[in-house]
Amino acid sequence: MDTMPVRAVPGSVARPPSAAVMPRRARSVLPVALLLVAAQLGLRTWVFAQRSFYGDDLHLQLLSDRLPLFSRELLLQDYDGHLMPGSFLVAGLAERAAPLEWWPAAVSLVLLQALASLALLRVLWVLVGDRPVLLVPLTFGLFTPVALGAATWWAAALNSLPLQIGLAWYVAAAVRYAQTGRRRHAVSGTAALAFAFAFYLKAVLLPPIAFVVVVVVLLRDGARHPVAAAVRQARALWAGTAVVVLVWAVTYLLTREHSPVSAGSTDDVVATLTTGLRAIAPAVVGGPWDWVLLDAGSPLSNPPHRATVAGCVVLAGAFAWTAVRLRGAVTVWSMTAGAVLAGLLMAAIGRASLGLGEVVPLAYRYFAADAVVLPIAGALLLTLPLRDVFAPGRFDRPPRIRRPAVTAAVLTGVLTAAFVASGVRSTVDHAEAWQGNRTGEYLSTARASLAAAGRTPLLDQALPLLVTAGMAPPAHSLHGLLAALPDRPPFAAWTTELQLLDGAGRLVPAVLVPAVPVLPGPDPLCGHPMLPGAPATLPLGAALPGWVWTVQLDYIANQDGVLEVAAEGGGAVVRAPVTAGFGRVFVRLEGPVPAVRVASGTDGFGACLTFGAVGEVAVR
């Protein structure tokens, strides 16, 4: 941990830095802190091991498979208004390690969570030092369920966990730079901010949060004019911050194809804010304790009324007690409330068109930054000086943290242990709620079925909603989503054998359900003759509207060759290889089909088209 000396603040009484290490205490506090980090990481690893892909996870895999890893098209992709090259880089590495297998994603989650937890420990150490009181905000930050939704869904975690890492490191660097003046803190803080911006646009919240924390720390450390001191003493970091923000903003504006602002209603924005504020209250006491899983969705918090009331009472009581007694407490509470509201507002503006403002905040995906801001706020409140009315004659003297009485220490320990138990319960229930999502089972079964399927081409098909919820074409289809699998049959627009993945992911025989027949041909023996240079037009019982249609053609061919099949009047031409003699082929056409046009794609190749039908494919 950082232990460099603090520089004196002009007009103040110099005091040891908040992170000053007292070796005897450090030998007891640091091991306990690391043990808490290890326990939280073990719990999260257990959760990650039970998870699988969901929603946008699969879209990230698809994009990573189709685009070069270090290409501009991938890293600067406009993904629903997000600029997140870091997320795409991690997703691309995971996809290349093992396409559509969960273990690379799980490994990335464990690594990012470990870095986030250690970064949280560092910033709290910088703010509080090696005192036992450090363990209180650390325990809250590690075990609060407030960011479970953001940490256990891979696509969300690729934004949220790097944001937590960058936020914690940036704030710690800002405080240490203001205290010590060492340039390396300005450099590391600027790098941490750039790191956060590479993963999540909510990194725009980091500079104001860090500035307020620096102001409060300088106030606590005795500065008479903490705002001016924060500007002056950390000016190199603020300059680096301005450069990073400018570069990010220019890159963002030049690479976005769609506006990040959703064309939704004001009512939905308000609903997101109010629902989010209600949702965060139970997390203060380790809730929500109960989760529900809607069809093809992610777990939503379903707290009992008493959990919400308890969280509100704790927050109101803590605010009243600290605001009255502590200098700077109102500033800390204002920063915390501002960070929570700003995060919710950014999410609300970007998602207002979905009309889900009363639902989505319950998934706990909008509070990633708050999982760091709340412990930081707690650490500051635990070390702020008393107002002069409560400490007569000590207005200008730096505060002295008194050793708590035995009773207070025991009570604090009991409450902290109760919070851990509550947070663990909520985490376990959250993991169990995720078990209702069957995407992992479907993908495992489909992977095994395709590996054993042989080399007969497969036509495309839409995959079940439980796998592709919220995904747009082509990510919702067999050819789009599972193309990255190395061991599978060819995917094509033709086949000689109809097969489909059923609702469980098993490859099973399928049949054509005719919509219209191909009308009989003029030749009683040959049907519709197709000769080299003389295509055949197959009339249908009725013209078909625009859709995805499958054409069945029974033929007698004079040699091996290629049939070129298309809808009459336009549309893509499908080249289907066939063999000499009697045979049957199925061809996929998209769009309106007034008639079917079949031509020879091989010199000297001719065939009799004896029977045909057009329809849709279904499981037999």
- pLDDT at position 338 is 97
Task: Please say if the pLDDT value at position 179 is more than 90.
Answer: yes
529: helix, strand or coil: strand
State pLDDT tens for residues 293-327.
Answer: 877 678 999 999 999 999 999 999 999 999 999 99
Place of tokens 């919509």: 515
Q: Mean per-residue pLDDT for 490-495?
A: 97
- pLDDT at position 1 is 55
Percent of the chain residues past pLDDT 70, beyond the cut: 91
State pLDDT tens for residues 97-109.
Answer: 999 999 999 999 9
Q: How confident is the model at residue 6 (pLDDT cuts 50, 70, 90)?
A: low
- pLDDT at position 385 is 93
- pLDDT at position 231 is 96
Cα Rg of the chain (Å, integer): 31
Percent of the chain residues past pLDDT 90, beyond the cut: 78
Task: Please say if the pLDDT value at position 4 is more than 60.
Answer: no
Q: How confident is the model at residue 14 (pLDDT cuts 50, 70, 90)?
A: very low
Q: How confident is the model at residue 21 (pLDDT cuts 50, 70, 90)?
A: very low
State pLDDT tens for residues 351-380.
Answer: 766 777 888 899 999 999 999 999 999 999
| Residue with the larger pLDDT of the pair 498 and 11 | 498
- pLDDT at position 394 is 47
- pLDDT at position 263 is 62
Cβ–Cβ under 8 Å, residues 380 and 126: no
Cβ–Cβ under 8 Å, residues 588 and 555: no
Q: Mean per-residue pLDDT for 145-150?
A: 94
Task: Please say if the pLDDT value at position 571 is more than 90.
Answer: no
Task: Please say if the pLDDT value at position 20 is more than 50.
Answer: no
Q: How confident is the model at residue 18 (pLDDT cuts 50, 70, 90)?
A: very low
Q: Mean per-residue pLDDT for 479-505?
A: 94
State pLDDT tens for residues 230-272.
Answer: 999 999 999 999 999 999 999 999 998 877 766 667 888 899 9
Q: Mean per-residue pLDDT for 204-223?
A: 96
Distance CA 298, CA 542 (A): 44
- pLDDT at position 171 is 98
Q: Which helix (H) or strand (E) holds 510?
A: strand 507-517
- pLDDT at position 574 is 97
Task: Please say if the pLDDT value at position 466 is more than 90.
Answer: no
Task: Please say if the pLDDT value at position 133 is more than 70.
Answer: yes
Q: How confident is the model at residue 19 (pLDDT cuts 50, 70, 90)?
A: very low
Tokens of 473: 């074409």
Q: Mean per-residue pLDDT for 582-597?
A: 96
Q: How confident is the model at residue 27 (pLDDT cuts 50, 70, 90)?
A: low
Tokens of 444: 């495992």
Cβ–Cβ under 8 Å, residues 154 and 132: no
- pLDDT at position 12 is 45
Cβ–Cβ under 8 Å, residues 169 and 132: no
State pLDDT tens for residues 425-438.
Answer: 999 999 999 988 88
Distance CA 146, CA 427 (A): 10
| Residue with the larger pLDDT of the pair 379 and 569 | 379
State pLDDT tens for residues 48-91.
Answer: 999 999 989 999 999 999 999 999 999 999 998 899 999 999 99
- pLDDT at position 258 is 73
DSSP character at residue 11 = T
DSSP one-letter string for 534-554:
B-EEEEEEEEEEEEEEEEEEE
Task: Please say if the pLDDT value at position 455 is more than 80.
Answer: yes
Place of tokens 């950082």: 2
Task: Please say if the pLDDT value at position 111 is more than 90.
Answer: yes
- pLDDT at position 395 is 44
Distance CA 292, CA 76 (A): 35
Cβ–Cβ under 8 Å, residues 593 and 544: yes
| Residue with the larger pLDDT of the pair 608 and 3 | 608
- pLDDT at position 410 is 85
Q: How confident is the model at residue 392 (pLDDT cuts 50, 70, 90)?
A: low
Alpha-carbon distance values, 8 to 12, 15, 126, 221, 423 (Å): 7, 8, 17, 9, 41
Lowest mean pLDDT among 213-227, 336-350, 469-483, 599-613: 469-483
Sequence-distant (6+) residues with CB within 8 A of 192 are 165, 166, 169, 170, 173
Summary mean pLDDT of the chain: 90
